[in-house]
Amino acid sequence: MVQVRVLGIALDASQQHLVLLKPLDDELEPGAPRVLPIWIGAQEATSILIALEGERAPRPLSHDLITTLFATVDARIERVDVTRIESGTFYAELTLTTPSGRQVVDARPSDAVALALRAAAPIFVADEVLDDAGIPAEFAGEDDGGTEGGRADEGRDDEAKLAEFKEFLDDVDPEDFQG
């Protein structure tokens, strides 16, 4: 398992939302830094963005309600694991600490990520999932390896990286990540 952070939300060529997950410590990973794109729904993308920005919706979203319910029953999200990918579908699990002990619950990755952000819980991705569906971080405009103090990676500016990532998204389909 590799611990990741939410890099952000993006849109592919068909205007479908993706959540981008990036390993926390690329130096420990062999090879080039990678990002894991997972296709998600528009509502989940909005919920993730709200959590990333530390904002609150005027009325509780489903993920806010679930977070409140967990707190009410004295449960907390210990961690989120993106465990596998089958036929292009990603699977995740929530590990909860409850008064009756540890519980593992099946979840969609988008819901699990939205909940993890609200609970400040760590997110992990199985090595095999990152190997099968990860893309080079440079396509996502993120390649921290070898950069310090804001220097541009290999002389490319942020606009060039963004254009390259958009070109990648124009040519990629969810079916490209079928296991």
pLDDT at 174: 61
pLDDT at 161: 53
pLDDT at 3: 96
Q: Domain range spanning residue 123?
A: 2-177
pLDDT at 6: 95
CATH of the domain at 10: 3.10.690.10
Strand partners, 79: 95
Residues in the chain with pLDDT values less than 50 = 143-156, 158
Count up the domains in the chain and report the number: 1
pLDDT at 159: 56
CA distance 29 to 2: 9
Token pair for residue 109?
Answer: 């990755």
pLDDT at 12: 85
The model carries a pTM of 0.75
